[in-house]
């Protein structure tokens, strides 16, 4: 167990390179199960969730090897087993269930444990199963293991009750090898879905409409090996933008796609934080005191739920009252109690947080309850007076690579220590 020790940091300055997106890498690694041929994925961030997915692929019989120097993951799923009922990796993260679609498509029978993940809500998989069922699969869950089987997968019209990112991905991952045409309506339109679709097209899949709410897939009989570079991580980018804002800094983000950050750029602009495209990257700097604002989390292109906690940190120091409404997950305000320990004035009920800005935060002993909550605490600690100790930082390593090195390079006073707890 490790902890972060962070001291107050004045304005961050300098350049930071944004890594590949965790949420794009995970489904793309699962997609490698769809072909016997080797695949090479680059710009893969060295994160614990990525390592768990790589080990899960190995449990399924794949060759999977990560070169940390080049951030390249090579996968070959020549001979695989579709029975993952004994998997040690599956329970470690939510995204493990993304192997269900490809294993079903390739082997027509699979056993996959129910997924694990952050404590931010119940996170059922009913929409994944409904979609796979529409493609012709039967399923049952016993002793925590989901069994899926089909004689043949057949294209279907699927309407999702909610534009679930994971369900859209799982259905896409099965439909590419189904017979005939699949249309997914009310599909998720996140950039990570488009990255997955891009990779699948390189493998030979026939997909159109990704990035909109209607995705059409014409099934093909086989897919082939392909190479692909993962898109930049918009959540890591957003977190560094907020780090610049909360410290009154001025930084340049390299390797970002501005169009993926539109809702974040818009909200930062509202609270006095400017962004500017430069030849070197995206410049982010604050102009004066932070202004309060209201945020409602929404599916893309709305404001991302994954940046709700980091943004709350920022708003604790705005001049006035802000309101955050969380519409995606039912239990995503765990960070509010920790921020209160640092002097923040936040009231929450089930889906709403009211934040009264304070003049300063004070260093304290806090705990990262989940991945993005952990990021929020790091951000507040940078701005807080004195020393902050953040425990359970293994949650943060699930989604941010070399966070302390990247922040130190921008001038932050942050170090990692063994935790005695
Ligand atoms: C993905 C992201 C996560 C992000 C989330 C929403 C990955 C690995 N993770 O998670 O970082 O916060 O999208 O943008 O990409 N739901 C159901 N039934 C289902 C599936 C989902 O009720 O079968 C509900 C969930 O409980 C949640 C909401 O739908 O309340 C959104 O979930 P979903 O979009 O599926 O998120 P994930 O794919 O799990």
Whether the per-residue pLDDT at 92 is higher than 90: the answer is: no
- In this structure, whether the domain defined by 22-229 belongs to CATH 3.65.10.10 is answered with yes
Q: How many CB atoms lie within 10 A of CB 161?
A: 10
Whether the per-residue pLDDT at 118 is higher than 60: the answer is: no
Q: How many whole angstroms separate alpha carbon 139 and alpha carbon 302?
A: 33
pLDDT digits (tens, 9 = 90+) for 161-175: 999 999 999 999 999
Confidence band of 124 (pLDDT split at 50, 70, 90): confident
Token representation of residue 208: 């159109």
Whether the per-residue pLDDT at 11 is higher than 90: the answer is: yes
Confidence band of 115 (pLDDT split at 50, 70, 90): confident
Instruction: Note whether 2-19+233-418 and 22-229 share their fold.
Output: yes
**The pLDDT value given to residue 356:** 98
**The pLDDT value given to residue 122:** 66
According to DSSP, residue 154 is labeled: B
Q: Which CATH architecture has domain 2-19+233-418?
A: Alpha-beta prism (3.65)
161 close to ligand 1 (CB < 6 Angstrom): no
301 close to ligand 1 (CB < 6 Angstrom): no
**Pair 419, 3: CB distance under 8 Å:** yes
**The pLDDT value given to residue 213:** 97
187 close to ligand 1 (CB < 6 Angstrom): no
State percent of the chain over pLDDT 70. 98
Average pLDDT over residues 147-151: 97
**The pLDDT value given to residue 420:** 76
Average pLDDT over residues 376-382: 98
- The region of weakest confidence among 64-73, 116-125, 312-321, 358-367 is 116-125
Q: How many whole angstroms separate alpha carbon 372 and alpha carbon 402?
A: 15
CA-proximal residue: ligand 1, atom 8 (nearest): 23
Q: How many CB atoms lie within 10 A of CB 72?
A: 16
pLDDT digits (tens, 9 = 90+) for 40-60: 999 999 999 999 999 999 999
Whether the per-residue pLDDT at 223 is higher than 60: the answer is: yes
Token representation of residue 103: 């294993």
CA-proximal residue: ligand 1, atom 25 (nearest): 123
Give the active site residues: 118
Average pLDDT over residues 213-221: 98
Identify which has the larger pLDDT, 119 or 392: 392
Q: Which residue has the tokens 């997950």?
A: 329
Ligand 1 atom closest to the CA of 371, numbered from 1: 11
Sheet holding 145-149, edge to edge: 109-113, 145-149, 138-142
Pocket perturbation via mutation, ligand 1, pick of 123, 159, 332 by most ligand atoms within 8 A of CB: 123
Token representation of residue 418: 């063994």
Radius of gyration of the chain (CA): 21
Ligand 1 atom closest to the CA of 162, numbered from 1: 29
Note the Cα 4 to chain centre separation in Å.
22
Whether the per-residue pLDDT at 383 is higher than 80: the answer is: yes
**The pLDDT value given to residue 80:** 96
pLDDT digits (tens, 9 = 90+) for 192-210: 999 999 999 999 999 999 9
Q: How many whole angstroms separate alpha carbon 374 and alpha carbon 411?
A: 20
Any idea where the domains of the chain sit in the sequence? 2-19+233-418, 22-229
As a whole number, the mean pLDDT across the chain is 96
Q: How many whole angstroms separate alpha carbon 351 and alpha carbon 327?
A: 7
Whether the per-residue pLDDT at 331 is higher than 90: the answer is: no
């Amino acid at each position: 167990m490790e902890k972060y020790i962070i001291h107050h940091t004045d304005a961050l300055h300098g350049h930071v390179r944004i890594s590949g997106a965790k949420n794009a890498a995970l489904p793309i690694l699962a997609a490698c199960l769809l072909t016997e041929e080797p695949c090479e994925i680059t710009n893969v961030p060295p994160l614990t969730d990525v390592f768990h997915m790589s080990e899960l692929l190995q449990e399924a019989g794949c060759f999977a090897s990560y070169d940390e120097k080049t951030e390249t993951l090579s996968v070959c799923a020549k001979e695989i087993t579709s029975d993952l009922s004994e998997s040690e990796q599956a329970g470690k993260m939510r995204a493990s269930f993304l192997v269900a679609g490809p294993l079903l498509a390739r082997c027509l029978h699979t056993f996959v444990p129910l997924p694990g993940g952050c404590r931010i809500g119940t996170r059922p998989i009913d929409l994944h199963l409904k979609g796979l069922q529409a493609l012709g699969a039967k399923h049952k869950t016993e002793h925590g293991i989901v069994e899926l089987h089909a004689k043949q997968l057949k294209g279907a019209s699927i309407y999702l009750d909610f534009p679930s990112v994971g369900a859209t991905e799982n259905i896409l991952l099965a439909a590419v090898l189904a017979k005939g045409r699949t249309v997914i309506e009310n599909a998720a339109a996140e950039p990570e879905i488009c990255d997955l679709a891009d990779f699948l097209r390189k493998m030979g899949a026939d997909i159109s409409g990704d990035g909109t709410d209607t995705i059409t897939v014409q099934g093909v009989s086989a897919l082939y090996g392909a190479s692909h570079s993962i898109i930049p991580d918009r959540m890591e980018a957003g977190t560094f933008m907020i780090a610049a804002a909360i410290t009154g800094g001025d930084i340049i983000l390299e390797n970002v796609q501005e169009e993926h950050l539109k809702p974040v750029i818009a909200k930062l602009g509202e609270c006095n934080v400017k962004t500017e495209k430069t030849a070197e990257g995206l410049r982010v700097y604050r102009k004066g005191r932070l202004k309060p604002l209201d945020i409602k989390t929404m599916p893309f292109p709305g404001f991302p739920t994954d940046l709700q906690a980091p943004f709350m940190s920022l708003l604790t120091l705005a001049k006035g009252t802000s309101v955050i409404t969380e519409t995606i997950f039912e239990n995503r305000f765990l960070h509010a109690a920790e921020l209160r320990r640092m002097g923040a004035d936040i009231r929450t009920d089930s889906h709403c947080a009211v934040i009264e800005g304070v003049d300063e935060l004070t260093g304290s002993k806090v705990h990262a309850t989940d991945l993005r909550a952990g990021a929020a605490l790091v951000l507040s600690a940078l701005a807080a007076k004195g020393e902050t100790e953040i425990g359970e930082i293994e949650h943060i390593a699930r989604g941010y690579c070399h966070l302390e090195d990247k922040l130190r390079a921008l001038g932050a006073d942050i170090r990692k220590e063994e935790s005695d707890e």
